[in-house]
């Protein structure tokens, strides 16, 4: 028997084994509906995760429950809630949405098993949850839900799509189905209503999800976040490569401390939990309102520093994504340098702290023709700090920074930077050498990478992320660059030791 403990509520969760009857049904249906999963963006919740989510609901003072399960699948989340919390209510009105006709049959069978044991009135809804929820909000239907448990679909909502337009009618601006489902659930909750959802962590940062973050903060309080530290384990049977977080919200109440727990995967065998003040989750003064997930009570060295308090704008540095979008300039790309071309740098050219160019074994071009059609996309040769926008799942680091030196490209006037690089520059020109080197040393520090992981839940490093980070002063970065030039072997240990001297 697997026994799990929720430290916050002293909850004991029991499941005979990971592959319970519910899981066996989930795995079978998962294989039968692969094509639909891809089109709907929906993956079914493992039993162990569902049980953990149900344990995050605190005891209710009311004897009435109005439960919402949007995207119910065959009922694993609702079942976990009813098993865990059902005996505490005199009346349970359940509204469960499932768009798939075949899965709805299994959902009905699941809920039927509770009708004789609990005071439950189930309502199974087909059709479009977003349309139904928007209609409900526009009609002012009351009362609201008291509880919601969600594993919403993960799929982009295109600009100008029907869903995007419907959401705007109720004041919700977002780019993905999962954030749309959570926002609608928040909007339909009564005061003090509780929501527990498992969703991708991508909403925690980036400009596209800022409106959604503001929606959460305006209408609810974050009570608990659980982070799965392995990106591919929470939905391993479905081969989902996504860093997921379970978030518990309470609607219409003031924000207080946030409980943060972690486990490697859905077995929860290494479950760890701590409580944090909200100003460690959303940093004071952060205009982007990034959501950090601190995984230990100790403060990161970057948080403790009194000198690392400057933005890139403060120190006169601009960060841009590389302007060369290769598929739009295909006719101008060359596999190897030739007359009339200039270097084109891709992430694949940066294995270390300096570029390896030309790299003829690379599957990407090494050069771009210089002509009137490409000139506007090229930067003058000089010193630049560059950060790869994407890291692979195997890499230990999210932030990988390198220096571009003009001496590496003798007799070259301009350079091309491909769109999968972030380029730090001054008005589209190179940086002073010491400043470029100092930036790269700072960005390659372990403490900086750790700090970045607290608000970034995917493998992408956006220019907006770098703009939101804090840096030492320009003078300190220059001093760091002068120090770096004197080092014969700039190891990670030396970098971290030098950065630890910032107070």
**Model pLDDT, residue 308:** 85
For 266-310, where are the alpha helices, taking DSSP H only? 301-304
Q: Are 230 and 242 in contact (CB under 8 A)?
A: no
| Radius of gyration from C-alpha coordinates of the chain | 26
Domain enclosing residue 383, as ranges: 318-484
Report the alpha-carbon distance of residue 452 to residue 471 in Å, rounded.
12
What average pLDDT does the chain have? Answer: 86
Distance CA 492, CA 302 (A): 17
Kindly indicate the confidence band of residue 465, based on its pLDDT and cuts at 50, 70 and 90: confident
pLDDT confidence of residue 283: 86
Same domain, 221 and 337: no
- 359 and 261 assigned to the same domain: no
What is the structure's pLDDT at 420? 94
| One domain for residues 93 and 240 | yes
Please say if the pLDDT value at position 226 is more than 50. yes
Claim to verify: residue 20 and residue 122 sit in the same structural domain: yes
Q: 61 pLDDT band (50/70/90 cuts)?
A: confident
Per-residue pLDDT at 36 exceeds 60:
no
Lowest mean pLDDT among 225-229, 238-242, 463-467: 238-242
Distance separating the N- and C-terminal Cα atoms of the chain? 49
pLDDT at 148: 97
Least confidently predicted of 96-105, 258-267, 271-280, 351-360: 351-360
Are residue 278 and residue 324 in the same domain, yes or no? no
Last residue in a domain, options 266, 298, 330: 298
Shared domain for 51 and 126, answered yes or no, is: yes
Examine the domain organization and report whether 229 and 292 are in the same domain.
yes
Q: How far is CA 6 from CA 16, 171, 226, 346, in A?
A: 18, 35, 11, 46
CATH code, domain carrying 412 = 3.90.220
The answer to whether position 60 is within a domain reads: yes
Q: Is 186 a member of any domain?
A: yes
- What 3-state DSSP class applies to 36? helix
115 in any annotated domain: yes
Mean pLDDT of 204-229: 93
pLDDT 10s digits, 143-193: 899 999 999 999 999 998 999 999 999 999 999 999 999 999 999 999 999
- Give the residue from 231, 265, 298 where a domain finishes: 298
In a domain, 55, yes or no: yes
The predicted pLDDT at position 453 comes to: 74
Residue 143 falls within a domain, yes or no?
A: yes
Tell me if 306 is assigned to some domain: no
**With bands split at pLDDT 50, 70 and 90, how would you rate the model's confidence at 28?**
low
Nearest partner of 123 among 111, 138, 114, judged by Cα: 111
Residue 23 has pLDDT above 60, yes or no: no
What is the pLDDT at residue 231?
53
Residue 120 domain-assigned (yes or no): yes
Number of domains in the chain: 2
**More confident site: 379 or 59:** 379
**Do residues 250 and 193 make contact, with C-beta atoms less than 8 angstroms apart?**
yes
124 and 229, same domain (yes or no): yes
Q: Which residues contact 32 (CB under 8 A, 6 or more apart)?
A: none
- The residue out of 298, 329, 355 marking a domain boundary is 298
Read off the pLDDT band of 232 (50, 70, 90): low
Short-list 475, 155, 426, CA closest to 313: 426
Among 240-249, 347-356, 380-389, 465-474, which range has the highest average pLDDT? 380-389
> What is the pLDDT at residue 207?
86
| Residue 243 belongs to a domain | yes
Instruction: Using the predicted structure, report yes or no on whether residue 295 has a pLDDT greater than 90.
Output: no
Q: How far apart are CA 84 and CA 87, in angstroms?
A: 8
pTM to 2 decimal places? 0.75
pLDDT band at 486 (very low <50, low <70, confident <90, very high): very high
pLDDT higher for 354 or 192? Answer: 192
On whether both 459 and 424 belong to a single domain, the answer is yes
Identify the band that residue 228 occupies on the pLDDT scale cut at 50, 70 and 90: confident
**150 and 66 inside one domain:** yes
pLDDT tops 90 at residue 379: yes
Tens digit of each residue's pLDDT (9 = 90 or more) over 407-447: 999 999 999 999 999 999 999 999 999 999 999 999 999 88
243 in the same domain as 331: no
Considering the domain architecture, whether residues 323 and 293 belong to the same structural domain is answered as no
pLDDT tens digits, one per residue of 449-458: 887 777 665 5
Which positions ≥6 away from 420 have C-beta within 8 Å? 322, 346, 347, 388, 389, 390
pLDDT confidence of residue 188: 97
CATH number at residue 243: 3.40.50.150
pLDDT per residue as tens digits for the range 97-134: 999 888 999 999 999 999 889 999 999 999 899 999 99
């Amino acid at each position: 028997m697997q026994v799990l403990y929720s430290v916050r509520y002293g909850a004991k969760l029991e499941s005979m084994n990971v592959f319970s009857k519910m899981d066996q049904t989930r795995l079978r249906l998962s294989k039968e509906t692969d094509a639909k999963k891809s089109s709907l963006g929906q993956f079914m919740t493992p039993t162990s995760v569902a049980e953990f989510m149900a344990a995050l609901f605190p005891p209710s003072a009311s004897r009435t429950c109005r439960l919402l399960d949007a995207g119910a699948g065959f009922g694993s989340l609702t079942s976990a809630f009813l098993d865990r919390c059902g005996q505490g209510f005199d009346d349970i009105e359940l509204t469960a949405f499932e768009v798939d006709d075949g899965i709805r049959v299994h959902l009905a069978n699941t809920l039927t098993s509770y009708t004789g044991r609990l005071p439950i009135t189930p309502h199974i809804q087909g059709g479009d949850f977003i349309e139904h929820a928007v209609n409900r909000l526009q009609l002012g239907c009351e009362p609201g839900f008291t509880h919601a448990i969600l594993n919403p679909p993960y799929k982009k909502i295109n600009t100008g799509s029907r869903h995007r337009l419907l959401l705007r009618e109720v004041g919700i601006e977002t780019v993905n189905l999962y954030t749309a489902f959570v926002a609608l659930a928040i909007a339909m909750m009564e005061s003090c209503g509780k929501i527990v959802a498992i969703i991708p962590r991508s909403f925690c940062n980036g400009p596209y999800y800022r409106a959604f973050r503001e929606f959460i903060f305006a209408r609810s309080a974050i009570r608990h976040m659980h982070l799965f530290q392995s990106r591919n384990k929470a939905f391993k049977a479905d081969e989902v490569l996504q860093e997921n977080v379970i978030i518990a919200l309470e609607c219409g109440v003031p924000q207080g401390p946030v409980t943060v727990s972690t486990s490697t995967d859905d077995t929860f065998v290494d479950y760890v939990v701590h409580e944090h003040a909200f100003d460690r989750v959303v940093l004071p003064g952060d205009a982007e309102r990034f959501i950090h997930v601190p995984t230990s009570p100790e403060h990161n060295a970057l948080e403790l520093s009194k000198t690392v308090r400057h933005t890139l704008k403060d120190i006169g540095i601009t960060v841009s994504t590389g302007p060369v979008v290769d598929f739009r300039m295909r006719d101008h790309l060359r596999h190897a340098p030739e007359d009339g071309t200039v270097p084109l740098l891709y992430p694949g050219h940066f294995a270390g702290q300096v570029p390896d160019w030309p790299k003829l074994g690379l599957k990407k071009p090494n050069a771009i023709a210089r002509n009137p059609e490409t000139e506007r996309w090229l930067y003058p040769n000089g010193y630049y700090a560059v950060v790869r926008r994407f890291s692979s799942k195997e890499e230990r680091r999210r932030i990988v920074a390198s220096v571009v030196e003009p001496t590496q490209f003798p007799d070259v006037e301009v350079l091309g930077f491909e769109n999968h690089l972030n380029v730090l520059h001054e008005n589209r020109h190179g940086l002073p050498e010491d400043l470029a080197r100092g930036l790269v040393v700072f960005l390659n520090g372990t403490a900086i990478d750790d700090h970045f992981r607290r608000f970034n839940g995917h493998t992408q490093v956006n220019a907006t992320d770098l703009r939101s980070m804090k840096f030492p002063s320009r003078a300190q970065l220059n001093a760091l660059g002068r120090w770096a030039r004197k080092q014969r072997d700039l190891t990670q240990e030396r970098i971290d030791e030098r950065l630890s001297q910032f107070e």
